[in-house]
Structure formats: C-alpha cells, structure tokens
Amino acid sequence: MLALVYSAGSALNPRDIFLMNATLQTLTLGGGCFWCTEAVYVQVRGVLDVESGYSNGQTQRPSYDDVCRGDTGHNEVVQLRYDPEQVCTRELLEIFFLIHDPTTLNRQGNDYGTQYRSGIYFSNAEQQACAQALIAELTAAGVYPRAIVTEVLPLDNYWPAEDYHQDFFERNPYQGYCQAVAAPKVAKFRKTFARLTK
C-alpha cells in the first residue's frame, strides 16, 4: 500500500500515510471470475487497491490450477482496500449485487464450480451487518426471481493470485472473455453508478 501511495506521486509524509492506512478498510468479494470483478472495482472512487486472489479454502498457497480443479475449496475473489470516507461498504456491496448473479450456486454464466460461488468475506462486524442487511432488503423486495445464495463469512486463508491475473482486463481488453463478459459488467457499473466512478 505504501508503494501505491508513493507511485501516485503523492507528497504525503510517513505520518500522513500511517493515518491514511489506519482509516482504510479491506473487503473481499467473490462474484465469479476475478478478472471481471476486478475490472469493475478498479474504476470505483475511493477504492485504492484491488487484488485478485483466493480465499476461504483449506490449503496454503493454492495455485490457479489447484483452485480450478476444486481441490482447495477456495473462491476466486477480489480484495478491496478502500477509504470509507469516499465510498461506503453499502455502496461497494450494491455494486457487487449489480454485476453478478447472487442466485446461482457455484456458477456465474458459463463458469461453474465452487471457485465461482457468490461470497462476501468481511473483515469487521460493520461489514458483516451491512451485507446481511442488504441481502435481507433485496430478498424482501423480491429483486431476484430466486433465492440469494451469497455466503457471508469472515475472511479466511486469503492468498494473492498469480501476477498474470492482476490487472488482467486492463492489460487484455480485447481478449475474447474480457470482451464478452467483463466489458459488459464494466459498462453496467458505469451506467448505474456514474456518481461513484473515478
């Protein structure tokens, strides 16, 4: 995170950076392929870092191949570091429920397997309460034709994904999957949440 702050050309001194890091929060989300989810959240105002990774599985240091085989129990996720004074947890979760289908168990479109399950992995009690309240509201309002199956759990056993997965959409905007799946999600976010775009 310090490298991120300095690379942005900031004139902050070490004390300012410490205070800034003290106020940042971490939220981890599984909404299908992490290339797509990352492509959206890097554009959200107040989200300072997005990292693709694997969470809530059993093994240590899982590889992409291990996760894809379903051997580890991990979910493909993005881990967000954000400034709650610029974007609140509720807004991040509203985006999450817009850009994926929370009613399909272990599946997003043509991607299927436990690594594609819908999941919110919280780092504090406020995030947990916010997630549970929003799911209850969406359910009561009948927003989806089927039940929401999103799991809401404490973040556990998180590992960053391999380097080639990071910033994948930005580096490969014309790759077939990015064009067919990620780009429409980005467009949907930008249209619905224009006020939250960077």
- The pTM score is 0.88
Is 167 within a domain? yes
**Domain with 172 in it: what CATH number?**
3.30.1060.10
**Is residue 12 very low, low, confident or very high in pLDDT (cuts 50, 70, 90)?**
low
**Is residue 22 very low, low, confident or very high in pLDDT (cuts 50, 70, 90)?**
low
79-138: pLDDT as tens digits? 999 999 999 999 999 999 999 999 999 999 999 999 999 999 999 999 999 999 999 999
Is 192 within a domain? no
> On the CB side of 24, how many CA atoms lie within 13 Å of its CA?
19
Q: Is 33 a catalytic residue?
A: yes
Dump strand ranges (E) for 32-161. 47-55, 75-82, 107-108, 111-112, 118-122, 151-154, 159-160
* pLDDT exceeds cutoff 80 at 8: no
Residue from 33, 36, 130, 178 carrying the catalytic annotation:
33
134-161: pLDDT as tens digits? 999 999 999 999 999 999 999 999 999 9
Of residues 19 and 75, which shows the higher confidence score? 75
Is 82 within a domain? yes
Residue 118 phi/psi, 5-degree rounding, is: -80, 125
Number of domains in the chain: 1
Domain containing 111 equals: 2-183
**Is residue 78 very low, low, confident or very high in pLDDT (cuts 50, 70, 90)?**
very high
Is 194 within a domain? no
H or E, element range at 190: helix 183-192
Q: How far apart are CA 144 and CA 2, in angstroms?
A: 41
pLDDT of residue 2: 34
Is 197 within a domain? no
Is 156 within a domain? yes
40-73: pLDDT as tens digits? 999 999 999 999 999 999 999 999 999 999 989 9
Give the amino acid at 110.
N
Is 117 within a domain? yes
